[in-house]
């Protein structure tokens, strides 16, 4: 029957029992890893050389000598097996329980390790898998021996039909699963199961090698290692490789790599794994970008049950004093300029100084009014583009002026207001690719600015193209640069008069602000807000006509603009502007001008007070008795208290009164939030708070003693502005009102605040349209509040305390720290080499603080820190 299925006559080759036992031992040694594959092949070929005629290099005489006895033994074996089949009894000679258990243990071991199994070279006719193999039973054994009796004809008669041999060979190697399952229930006496089973497996493998050797000439296509579906492989001589731990009867034509990718048996698992890796895309699929890797997510920090918690009651909205009614108060800022320019033309308005401290020009109110009229007329009537006016009412205009030219800036600012244009003061760009100027350029582009006003000196210092024109800075829109010197301004026609209207909700000017991410945003200030702010400052500071004010701040923005350009014109005050370049050369220059001009008010920063301390030894005749208010614009910063106290200790003997020092708090969005007032203006005594920094990190207010090192001493910034309502809300989430002993963000409801971020509706709603609510969710007012970005609380006597800024907030493990605290700690060591407020710093800590200062979140903080620390060689650091 086997001959009929195979389609050819093969003579059986008998194998003596001792040879079969030797082959079985070799199989077991190979499966257990005792010998190598090469050694196994060598010993196996040596054992079968005398019995298999197809092995090359065998003496034919040896084959002839052993053919007849082998044939008789094979015939006896066939008759015995047929008899066993007829009696329905199983032959246990070819079963090896020991070998099977060893194989199963090896397979289980490899599966537990989940490692790629070594590949096995296979014949082209073998297609079974390792998982589907079962040990041969009696039926497969009979077919195996029948085929062995007929293999003597292979050398003389080549295969005529591949299709007729393949099914037979598959059955020889694979066996019958049904008969294998049945063989486990029967036995045959007197047999040798281990040797017989191994010999049958060896015979099946030999037949597979014979078939592969017979078809070497017909299938020699090169293998494709990139796929696991190779059907015809080529090798120089027939080899039967074995997988470690797997019997030879097992077929390992298809294996798996470590990641479960099927590979071909002719390719090692490592090579196939490398190829699979190379074939993968370098970037993961798009959907994998949105899959959270939960193993890499940080654990959610659980709150400390012993952390301090606020215990006070819910705060209420703090209302400032009402705005007083002033008789004959101008209806707008332009109306005040018109009044003073026509009725008091020779009254000094602004005095500019050079870098040596000399007054180079004094602008009167008459000159300010006349020059502003000329500029407004020229902008509206003399600048054209394609026979059309270049500017129309409501357009935005950039003001590009250096810090040393306040006169031309003031003329340009009021000239734009008279022309109903919106001025946008910006800094002078230093280079073409300056990072800060790129953000300013983005602001100008979003505002639709097409014209820039400047001076002849400033334009000559700007980078030029080959054509001689000002280059287009990176990120900037294309601008028309207009030099507004006297020769470029036209005299207004007799029938032309500017429209001086009352204060309205229209945009008056746009003040830029730099966020902690470095982006520039424009804050719109309406005419009504500008007028209300001037009114509130006049009432809180007690400004009167003809007073002299010394301004050390930048006159283009914030407190320098509010006091030195706007409120001063409203009250017909005289402003002495101290340029920044002069402060670098002579830090005591502002004190000298206070003495020479008998100034009543000075607007400074804590850095200016610090610098004056360094140079005060060189100045003997200093008298500050004329000052009634020394406004510290950055009084909200925690480090300002050290400068204020040190300045008072030094200059109190030179006429400076303690109540004169008036720190204030402000922001670009809410303008002036609070300011300390002298007792003659109804202000309460100044207050100081020594707070635990550990509790502050949990936004809780706890008073501590100055003897401890972990405390923060802050000073009050006075009372809220007249006509304003102030509350403190939680920083995150819904703006719930804070408790009385809790730190939160200060919010202001007033007519003297900014109105919006220009062109940014989403952020505008979050900042300028906040509705604080109580713990029950009830709104505290039907009017929106403006977030100031200041972190603080309301103390005794309705005094406002600020402990940091939202831009400098750092959250570490739930605890909140502020960059201003780092600066305050670093600057606690005064240049006179004494320790202030108990904050003792080692040399290493000082340099750590300096490094941290460089990484402060906002450029303004970095600028102030650098100026504060590194400007003077004899500083503490």
Q: Which tens digit of pLDDT belongs to each residue from 270-326?
A: 788 888 877 766 666 666 665 555 555 555 567 778 889 999 999 999 999 999 887
Reported as a pLDDT band with limits 50, 70 and 90, residue 662 is very high
Tell whether the model's pLDDT for residue 136 goes beyond 60.
no
CA 91 to chain centre: 74
Give the distance, in angstroms, between the CA of residue 64 and the centroid of all CA atoms in the same chain: 84
How far is Cα 221 from Cα 219, in angstroms, rounded to an integer? 6
**Which parts of 143-295 are beta strand (E)?**
150, 254-256, 262-264
Residue 556 has a pLDDT of: 95
pLDDT confidence of residue 176: 39
Structure confidence at residue 813 (pLDDT): 76
Are 794 and 674 within 8 A, CB to CB? Answer: no
- CB-based burial label for 439 (10 Å; 0-12, 13-18, 19+): buried
Please check the confidence at residue 84 and state whether its pLDDT lies above 50: no
What pLDDT shows up at residue 499? 85
Averaged over 524-528, what is the pLDDT? Answer: 97
- What are the backbone angles phi and psi of residue 749, rounded to the nearest 5°? -115, 110
pLDDT at 819: 78
Q: pLDDT at position 47, please?
A: 84
Kindly report, residue by residue over 493-514, the tens digit of the pLDDT.
Answer: 888 988 888 889 999 999 999 8
Higher pLDDT, 136 or 754: 754
pLDDT value at residue 541: 95
Q: How far apart are CA 490 and CA 502, in angstroms?
A: 27
Nearest to 602 by CA among 633, 647, 580: 633
Q: What share of the chain is helix, strand, coil (3-state, %, to 5)?
A: 40, 15, 45
> What are the pLDDT digits (tens) for 577-601?
999 899 999 999 999 999 999 999 9
Highest-confidence range of 31-40, 177-186, 240-249, 465-474, by mean pLDDT? Answer: 465-474
Mean pLDDT for 505-528 is 93
Most confident of 688-692, 718-722, 819-823: 718-722
**Residues constituting the chain:** 877
Query: What is the Cα–Cα distance from 669 to 753, expressed in whole angstroms?
Result: 6
Mean pLDDT over 667-684 rounds to 92
The pLDDT confidence band at residue 192, using thresholds 50, 70 and 90, is very low
User: Is residue 424 predicted with pLDDT exceeding 70?
Assistant: yes
- pLDDT tens for 14-36 read 688 888 888 888 888 888 777 88
Residue whose token pair is 């990484």 = 855
What single DSSP character describes residue 286? Answer: G
Q: Is the pLDDT of residue 845 over 60?
A: no
Q: Is the dihedral of CA 726, 727, 728, 729 positive or negative?
A: negative
pLDDT grade for 715, boundaries at 50, 70 and 90 = very high
Q: What percent of the chain has pLDDT over 90?
A: 42
Helix (H) or strand (E) holding 642, with range, is: helix 640-651
Residue 30 vs residue 779, higher pLDDT: 779
Q: What is the pLDDT of residue 215?
A: 43
- Per-residue pLDDT at 598: 94
Residues near 234 by beta carbon (within 8 Å), at least 6 away in sequence: 216, 219, 220, 221, 222, 223
Residue 482 has pLDDT above 60, yes or no: yes
* Contact (Cβ atoms closer than 8 angstroms) between residue 123 and residue 266: no
Instruction: Round to whole Å and give the CA distance between 874 and 433.
Output: 34
pLDDT at 739 over 70: yes
Alpha-carbon distance of 613 to 646, in angstroms, equals: 8
Backbone angles phi and psi of 130, in degrees to 5: -65, -35
Look at residue 825 and tell me whether its pLDDT is greater than 80. Answer: no
212-270: pLDDT as tens digits: 444 444 444 444 444 443 344 344 444 444 344 444 444 444 444 444 445 444 567 77
């Amino acid at each position: 029957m086997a001959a009929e299925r195979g389609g050819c006559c093969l003579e059986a080759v008998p194998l003596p029992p001792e040879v079969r036992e030797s082959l079985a031992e070799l199989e077991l040694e190979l499966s257990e890893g005792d010998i190598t594959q090469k050694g196994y092949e060598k010993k196996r070929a040596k054992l079968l050389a005398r019995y298999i005629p197809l092995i090359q290099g065998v003496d034919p005489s040896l084959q002839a000598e052993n053919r007849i006895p082998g044939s008789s033994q094979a015939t006896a074996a066939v008759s015995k097996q047929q008899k066993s089949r007829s009696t329905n009894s199983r032959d246990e000679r070819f079963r090896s329980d020991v070998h099977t258990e060893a194989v199963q243990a090896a397979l289980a071991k490899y599966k537990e390790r989940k490692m790629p199994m070594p590949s096995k070279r296979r014949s082209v006719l073998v297609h079974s898998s390792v998982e589907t193999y079962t040990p041969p039973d009696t039926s497969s054994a009979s077919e195996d021996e029948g085929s062995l009796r007929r293999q003597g004809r292979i050398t003389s008669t080549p295969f005529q039909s591949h299709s007729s041999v393949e099914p037979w060979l598959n059955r020889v190697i694979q066996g019958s699963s049904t008969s294998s399952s049945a063989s486990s229930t029967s036995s045959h006496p007197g047999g040798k199961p281990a040797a017989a089973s191994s010999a049958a497996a060896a015979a099946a493998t030999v037949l597979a090698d014979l078939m592969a050797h017979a078809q070497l000439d017909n299938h020699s296509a090169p293998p494709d290692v990139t796929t696991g579906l190779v059907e015809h492989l080529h090798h120089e001589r027939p080899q039967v490789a074995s997988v470690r731990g797997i019997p030879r009867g097992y077929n390992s034509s298809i294996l798996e790599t470590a990641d479960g990718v099927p590979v071909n048996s002719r390719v090692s698992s490592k090579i196939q794994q490398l190829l699979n890796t190379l074939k993968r895309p370098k970037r993961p699929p798009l959907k994998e970008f949105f899959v959270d890797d939960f193993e890499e997510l940080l654990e959610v920090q659980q709150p400390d049950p012993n952390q301090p918690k606020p215990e006070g009651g819910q705060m209420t909205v703090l209302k400032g004093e009402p705005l007083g009614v002033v008789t004959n108060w101008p209806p707008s800022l332009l109306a005040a300029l018109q009044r003073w320019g026509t009725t008091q033309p020779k009254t000094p308005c602004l005095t500019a100084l050079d870098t040596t401290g000399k007054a180079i020009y004094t602008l009167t109110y008459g000159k300010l009014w006349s020059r502003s009229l000329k500029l407004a007329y020229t902008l509206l009537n003399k600048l054209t583009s394609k026979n059309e006016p270049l500017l129309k009412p409501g357009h935005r205009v950039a003001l590009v002026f250096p810090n040393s030219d306040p006169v031309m800036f003031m003329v340009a600012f009021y000239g734009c207001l008279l022309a109903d244009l919106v001025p946008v003061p910006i800094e002078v760009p230093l280079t073409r690719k300056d990072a800060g100027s790129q953000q300013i350029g983005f602001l100008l582009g979003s505002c639709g600015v097409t014209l820039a006003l400047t001076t002849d000196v400033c334009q000559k210092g700007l980078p030029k193209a080959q054509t001689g024109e000002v280059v287009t800075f990176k990120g900037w829109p294309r601008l028309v640069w207009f030099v507004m010197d006297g020769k470029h301004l036209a005299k207004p026609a007799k029938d032309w008069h500017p429209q001086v209207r009352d204060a309205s909700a229209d945009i008056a000017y746009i003040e830029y602000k730099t966020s902690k991410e470095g982006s520039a945003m424009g804050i719109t200030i309406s005419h009504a807000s500008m007028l209300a702010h001037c009114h509130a400052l006049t009432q809180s500071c007690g400004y009167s006509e003809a007073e002299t004010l010394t301004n050390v701040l930048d006159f283009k923005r914030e407190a320098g603009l509010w006091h030195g350009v706007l409120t001063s014109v409203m009250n017909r005050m005289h402003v002495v502007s101290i340029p920044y370049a002069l402060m670098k050369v002579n830090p005591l220059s502002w004190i000298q001008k206070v003495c020479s001009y008998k100034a009543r008010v000075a607007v400074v920063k804590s850095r200016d007070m610090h610098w004056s301390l360094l140079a005060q030894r060189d100045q003997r005749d200093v008298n500050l008795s004329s000052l009634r208010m020394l406004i510290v614009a950055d009084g909200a910063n925690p480090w300002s208290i050290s400068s204020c106290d040190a300045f008072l200790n030094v200059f109190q003997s030179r006429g400076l009164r303690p109540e004169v020092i008036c720190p204030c708090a402000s922001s670009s969005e809410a303008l002036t939030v609070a300011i300390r007032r002298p007792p003659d203006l109804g202000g309460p005594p100044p207050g100081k708070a020594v707070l635990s920094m550990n509790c502050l990190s949990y936004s809780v207010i706890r008073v501590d003693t100055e003897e401890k090192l972990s405390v923060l001493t802050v000073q009050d910034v006075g009372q809220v502005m007249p006509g304003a309502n102030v509350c403190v809300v939680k920083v995150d989430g819904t703006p719930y009102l804070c408790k009385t002993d809790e730190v939160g963000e200060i919010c202001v409801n007033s007519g003297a605040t900014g109105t919006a971020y220009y062109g940014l509706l989403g952020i505008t709603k979050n900042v300028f349209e906040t509705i604080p609510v109580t713990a029950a969710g009830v709104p505290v007012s039907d009017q929106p509040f403006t977030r100031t970005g200041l972190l603080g609380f309301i103390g005794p006597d309705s005094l406002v305390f600020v402990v940091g800024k939202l831009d400098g907030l750092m959250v570490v493990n739930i605890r909140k720290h502020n960059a201003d605290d780092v600066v305050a700690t670093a600057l606690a060591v005064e240049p006179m080499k004494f320790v202030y407020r108990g904050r003792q710093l080692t040399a290493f800590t000082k340099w750590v603080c300096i490094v941290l200062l460089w990484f402060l979140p906002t450029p303004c903080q970095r600028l102030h820190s650098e100026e504060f620390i590194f400007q003077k060689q004899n500083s503490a650091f």
